[in-house]
């Protein structure tokens, strides 16, 4: 079945139930007005709204209208339509509208520069670009070079529509709401996602409908979404992580709340007002919430959070110390973590499970519908406790890197996807990430795994975040350098940091300490290539390749 069947099912079963809520805290009315009152306010402009909603029937109708609009623009099965939007109530209906035509939807990273937008559009053979007001200047700068694109649709206020684009809302409301008469199968191409590397240009990852459906089933199985759950969705929808976690709501017909913006106060306030039961956080956001509570900036008694049952984290290694703090603050929360890659349709190919809280630090075991193995450089299975490269197999493995057979052959070995992550398995079969294959530091012939050193340093109560990278050294080849971000209001000297690391084996101790902000991308991953450029010189990253979108 195609992923669009779930939407059409929900529209029939729960037509008047709210499917999506958009909350924009920057437009919040006066605090003395209750959220139920100000949720009914109808602003003059959509961009001024605090809260907007969409029922399952309205969701499906909007998707149908956009699909039928695409037909009028001669978009057909197999064509590529790119989506460059910030999270909004329009995002998912546009995504599903593309899918309903049989075309391939191409979500784009909102951080892309103009050149990256052009590169990705050309690589994916994009025929139409749907974009928001935040991107007008960037799109305008390269539209003359994107010769494959026939049409531009602008999602925003009519008066802000650039002269080279059509206004989405002005046209789509007049289109038919009839379900498109397009036959879709599991094998039909559905989406192209881009690898989330932070240097160079990304690769295009092609997935069929089968991948999206498998991601939906895996997510709902892991986190047991039911009809009355409410998922608080914060990360960007262009990324497989956010969307595939939301797919659990799609399967169960439950509500999701799209939060535009992230601060500790906004997260807790929205979870309280909207009665969220499931919240997916990135490591920095969870840390910020705990720090704000510890400083007294937030008082938990001001919020209604008893219904919040599950907090889960993905997209990056999760420090044990963070989860210990979280459970002390929110003892009734279940905790879970998921591992995945854009090449595996996002999170879930490895899954910890809420029942395995004693295994925090592990990413878990093979997820629902998935298999895993850890192999050496020759492709042979390694023994438990030994480090090798993690490989995964399942129905969510990508079809290919679009128009890049060499790169595809590097990571697809038969049915197995090589993740590029070094890992080890304990005696009970739980998998622990050691590091990215390309991030391993070889110092004096010894392999150093930065994640292990980072986990150690994050346990220091003065450290907010840390990244360990390799820097060139004439004698040892490389040395480990720790970039340390200190918590607000605290101080940490290099001498203190060195003293703290004395309990590490000598070869694992950082040789250099740099006190600075640790940059992370929109999905929470540390931008290590950027740090290498900043502190190690361009030469060090010349041979780097993109990561696989984990």
Q: Is 207's pLDDT higher than 80?
A: yes
pLDDT at 73 over 90: yes
- Mean pLDDT score across all residues of the chain: 88
| List of domains in the chain | 4-170+185-220 (3.40.50.12780), 440-541 (3.30.300.30)
pLDDT on residue 36: 42
Q: What is the pLDDT of residue 543?
A: 27
Confidence band (pLDDT; 50, 70, 90) for 420?
confident
pLDDT confidence of residue 33: 43
- In whole angstroms, what is the distance from residue 385 CA to residue 432 CA? 10
The mean per-residue pLDDT over the stretch 415-432 comes to 93
At 540 the pLDDT is 35
Q: In the chain, pLDDT over 90 holds for what percent of residues? A: 69
Average pLDDT over residues 104-117: 92
Query: Per-residue pLDDT for 200 more than 60?
Result: no
* The pLDDT value given to residue 452: 80
User: What are residue 83's phi and psi, to 5 degrees?
Assistant: -120, 120
Q: How confident is the model at residue 539 (pLDDT cuts 50, 70, 90)?
A: very low
Span of 50-59, 74-83, 306-315 with lowest mean pLDDT: 306-315
Coil vs helix vs strand at 543: coil
For 159-180, what is the mean pLDDT?
96
Residue 60 has pLDDT above 80, yes or no: yes
Q: How many other C-beta atoms lie within 10 A of the C-beta of residue 457? A: 22
What's the pLDDT score for residue 31? 55
Total residue length of the chain: 550
Averaged pLDDT, 515-537: 79
- The band of 536, judged by pLDDT with boundaries at 50, 70 and 90, is confident
Instruction: Name every residue whose Cβ is closer than 8 Å to that of residue 468 and which is 6 or more positions away in sequence.
Output: 441, 450, 453, 454, 457, 480, 481, 482, 483, 510
How does residue 45 score in pLDDT terms, banded at 50, 70 and 90? low
Q: What's the rounded mean pLDDT across residues 230-244?
A: 91
Q: Looking at residues 221-235, what average pLDDT do you find?
A: 96
| Nearest CA-CA partner of 22 in 234, 228, 226 | 234
Question: With helix as H, strand as E and coil as C, how does 396-413 read?
Answer: CCCCEECCCHHHHHHHEE
pTM above 0.85, yes or no: no
Contact call for residues 4 and 12 (beta carbons, < 8 A): no
User: Is residue 46 pLDDT above 80, yes or no?
Assistant: no
Distance CA 120, CA 105 (A): 13
Residue by residue, what is the 3-state secondary structure of 438-499?
A: HHCEEECCEEECHHHHHHHHHCCCCEEEEEEEEEEECCCEEEEEEEEEECCCCCCCHHHHHH
- Kindly tell me if the per-residue pLDDT of 503 is higher than 90: no
pLDDT of amino acid 538: 39
Q: What is the pLDDT of residue 451?
A: 80
Which pLDDT band, with edges at 50, 70 and 90, does 271 fall under? very high
Does residue 505 surpass a pLDDT of 90? no
pLDDT of residue 445: 59
For residue 320, pLDDT beyond 60: yes
Between 546 and 62, the more confident residue is: 62
Percent of the chain with pLDDT over 70: 90
Measure the CA–CA gap between 398 and 395, rounded to whole angstroms. Answer: 9
Contact, 188 vs 2, CB < 8 A?
yes
Residue owning tokens 């057909």? 76
Name the pairing type of β-strands 204-208 and 189-194: antiparallel
As given in the structure block, the two tokens for residue 527 are 């931008």
Band (pLDDT 50/70/90 cuts) for residue 439 is confident
Torsion of CA 34, 36, 38, 40, to 10 degrees: -160
d(CA 483, CA 481) in angstroms, rounded, equals 7
Q: What confidence tier does 198 reach under pLDDT thresholds 50, 70, 90?
A: very low
pLDDT at 510: 92
CB 134, CB 110: distance < 8 Å:
yes
Helices then strands, counting H and E runs in the chain, come out as 16, 27
Which range is least confidently modeled, 255-259, 324-328, 460-464, 473-477? 473-477
SS3 state at 98: helix
Report the pLDDT value the prediction gives residue 172, as an integer from 0 to 100.
Answer: 96
Mean pLDDT, range 40-55, rounded to an integer: 71
């Amino acid at each position: 079945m195609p992923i669009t069947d779930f939407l059409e099912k929900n529209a029939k079963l729960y037509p008047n139930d709210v499917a999506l809520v958009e909350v924009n805290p920057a437009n919040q009315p006066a605090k003395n007005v209750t959220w139920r009152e100000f949720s009914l306010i109808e602003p003059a402009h959509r961009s001024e709204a605090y809260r907007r909603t969409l029922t399952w029937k309205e969701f499906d109708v909007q998707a149908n209208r956009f699909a039928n609009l695409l037909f009028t623009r001669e978009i057909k099965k197999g064509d590529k339509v790119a989506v460059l939007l910030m999270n909004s109530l329009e995002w998912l209906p546009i995504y599903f509208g593309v899918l309903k035509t049989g075309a391939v939807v191409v979500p784009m990273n909102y951080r892309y520069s103009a050149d990256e937008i052009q590169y990705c559009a050309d690589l994916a053979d994009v025929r139409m670009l749907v974009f928001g007001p935040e991107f007008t200047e960037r799109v305008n700068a390269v539209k003359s070079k994107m010769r494959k694109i026939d049409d531009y649709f602008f999602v925003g206020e009519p008066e802000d529509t650039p002269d080279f684009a059509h206004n989405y809302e002005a046209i789509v409301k007049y289109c038919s709401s009839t379900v498109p008469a397009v036959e879709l199968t599991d094998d039909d191409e559905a989406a192209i996602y881009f690898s989330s590397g932070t240097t160079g240009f990304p690769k295009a990852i092609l997935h069929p409908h089968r991948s999206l459906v498998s991601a939906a089933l895996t997510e709902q199985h892991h986190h047991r979404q039911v009809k009355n759950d409410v998922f608080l969705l914060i990360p960007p929808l262009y990324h497989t992580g956010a969307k595939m976690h939301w797919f659990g709501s799609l399967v169960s017909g439950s509500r999701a709340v799209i939060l535009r913006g992230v601060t500790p106060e906004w997260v807790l306030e929205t979870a309280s007002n909207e009665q969220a039961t499931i919240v997916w956080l990135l490591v920095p956001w969870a840390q910020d919430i705990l720090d704000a509570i510890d400083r007294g900036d937030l008082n938990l008694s001001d919020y209604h959070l008893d219904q919040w049952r599950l907090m889960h984290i993905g997209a990056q290694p999760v420090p044990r110390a963070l989860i210990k703090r979280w459970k002390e603050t929110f003892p009734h929360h279940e905790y879970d973590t998921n591992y995945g890659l854009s090449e595996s349709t996002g999170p879930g190919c490895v899954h910890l499970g809420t029942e395995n809280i004693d295994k925090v630090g592990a990413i878990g075991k093979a997820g629902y519908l998935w298999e895993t193995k850890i192999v050496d450089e020759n492709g042979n299975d390694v023994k438990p406790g030994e480090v090798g490269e993690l490989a995964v197999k399942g129905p969510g493995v990508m079809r290919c890197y679009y128009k890049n057979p060499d790169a595809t052959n590097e990571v697809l070995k038969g049915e197995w996807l090589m993740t590029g992550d070094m890992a080890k398995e304990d005696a009970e079969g739980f998998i622990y990430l050691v590091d990215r294959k390309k991030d391993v530091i070889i110092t004096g012939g010894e392999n150093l795994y930065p994640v292990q050193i980072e986990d150690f340093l994050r346990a220091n109560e003065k450290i907010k975040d840390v990244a360990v990278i390799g820097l060139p050294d004439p004698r040892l080849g490389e040395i480990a350098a720790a970039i340390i971000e200190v918590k607000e209001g605290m101080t940490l000297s290099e001498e203190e940091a060195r003293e703290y690391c004395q309990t590490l084996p000598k070869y694992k101790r950082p040789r250099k300490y740099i006190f600075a902000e640790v940059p992370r991308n929109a999905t929470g991953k540390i931008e290590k290539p950027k740090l290498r450029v900043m502190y190690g010189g361009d030469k060090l990253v010349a041979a780097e390749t993109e990561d696989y979108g984990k």
